[in-house]
Amino acid sequence: MKVEYDLVIIGGGPAGLAVALEARRNTVKDILLLERDKYLGGILPQCIHNGFGLQYFKEELTGPEYAERFIAKLNDNRIDVKTETMVIKITPDKRIIAINRDDGLLHIQAKAVVLAMGCRERTREAIAIPGNRPAGIFTAGTAQRYINIEGYMPGREVVVLGSGDIGMIMARRMTLEGARVKAVLEIMPFSTGLIRNRVQCLDDFNIPLKFNHTITRIEGEKRVERVTVAQVDKNLQAIPGTEEEMSCDTILLSVGLIPENELTGEMGIKLDPVTRGPIVNENRETEIEGVFACGNVLHVHDLADFVSEEGEIVGRAVGECLKRNRKFRYQPIKIVPGENIAYVVPQHIDFIVPGRKKIKIFMRVKKPAERVRINLLDDKGRVLGSYKKRIVTPGEMVSVYLPEVLLDDKLKNITISVKRN
């Protein structure tokens, strides 16, 4: 088999699929896409609900339909795909070691690598709930795979911990399949998911959403029998005396996602402590030239549509990188998170690009706020840009455009802050 490629993409979810197609459109010749599951599409085939594609295709699709749009095009483009193939190491000089049943051990040399491994769910262990260790505790995504792909029903009486989108979507899905969802508990005073999901997944089925509540204890012999639920204070500590018992046989956890960056870390690439993804420039290129990252491995996105958009940025950038058609700035500009900004992507701007008018900067706020301005300030505190936002919440990624004309050679840092209007 072929062992040298211009581009090797690790992961065949929405990010990897978008990169492959866009890199091909940008004249990248030999492309290999590696995927560890049996099918392409990543998490999309199990996300059978609608709500995908409104941004990217301007029509509403389900997850499997959204994936199929990309997969169908991939087949036309003769991009090499290997499924059931697990990458076990990537070296800084872009040698990829992978294994699968047909080829055994694979050594592949790439000119460019795209990290598109996505993320995984936080588990009970990550949030340390005391109690027994009975069966019946699932991450929401695992339960989703059982119900939607494999045809198993995880339980009958359910408590969902965490009001992230997957948690709310699974509350509806379990209800539709005949389970009773007793409550969705959210430790924060606000939901971390989309408003549409709160209404159409919880309110539609009269599923109570309890803010400032968490599970403090899990009990059960072989199977989960009950949980203790308590209200929490401002420091997220359980308030004594507020505990109540809820009987249930199943607990679904929707308590956050972690970018899957073990391969990235082993390559020696620095990770952002907040995003837990690599630190990248405006091309989503890591500190190793020719190694890119996009999608949920870089930072957790709200919508697959935004992942596809980011994959296309990388697809184009790989084309430019391989053509050696790039001009570096006199010095990189660092984008620094300021007041009420949890993180920004990209973290720095490295290139001079003729004809580029603006750069889209993505960010997540720490706390919800209404009637605010997102201000972009230079080192001297001068306002480079100021954008009005009616509302910002941690559950919805915010984006602003940085105008290219404002970026002069002396500029070292741009600080982004949220200010009351």
Partner 1 sequence: MEQNKIICVSCPIGCRMTIRSKDGKITSIIGNACPKGIKYAEEEFINPLRILPTTVKVIGGELPLVSVKTEKAIPKRLLLKAMTKIAEIEVKAPVKIGQVIKDDLMGTGVSLIATRNIKKADSNLYS
Residues that bind partner 1 (CB under 8 A): 38, 45, 48-50, 60, 62, 64-65, 68, 147-151, 176-178, 194-196, 198-200, 203-204, 390-391, 393, 395-396
What minimum distance in Å lies between the beta carbon of 72 and partner 1? 9
Smaller CB separation from partner 1, 62 or 231: 62
- Residue 222: both structure tokens together: 């072989």
Quickly list DSSP for 106-155.
EEEEEEEEEE---EEE--HHHHT--B---B-EEEHHHHHHIIIII-----
Toward partner 1, which CB reaches closer, 3 or 149?
149
- Nearest approach, Cβ of residue 200 and partner 1 (Å): 7
CB 278 within 8 A of CB 193: no
Q: Which is nearer to partner 1, 139 or 415 (CB)?
A: 139
CB 98 within 8 A of CB 10: no
Q: How far apart are CA 395 and CA 269, in angstroms?
A: 28
Q: How far apart are CA 254 and CA 26, in angstroms?
A: 38
91: left (phi over 0), alpha (psi -120 to 50) or beta: beta
Query: For partner 1, which is the closer residue by CB, 94 or 198?
Result: 198
Q: How far is the CB of 196 from partner 1 (least distance, A)?
A: 4
Closest CB to partner 1 among 286 and 393? 393
Contact (CB, 8 A) for 254 and 163: yes
Amino acid making up residue 131 = G
- Cis before 337? omega within 30: no
CA distances (Å), origin 308, targets 1, 56, 66, 137: 30, 8, 10, 32
Give the nearer residue to partner 1 in terms of CB position, either 125 or 150: 150
Least separation, in Å, of the C-beta of 420 and partner 1?
17
Inter-CA distances, 342 with 135, 276, 335, 337, 395, Å: 36, 12, 12, 7, 12
Nearer to partner 1, 113 or 374 (CB): 374
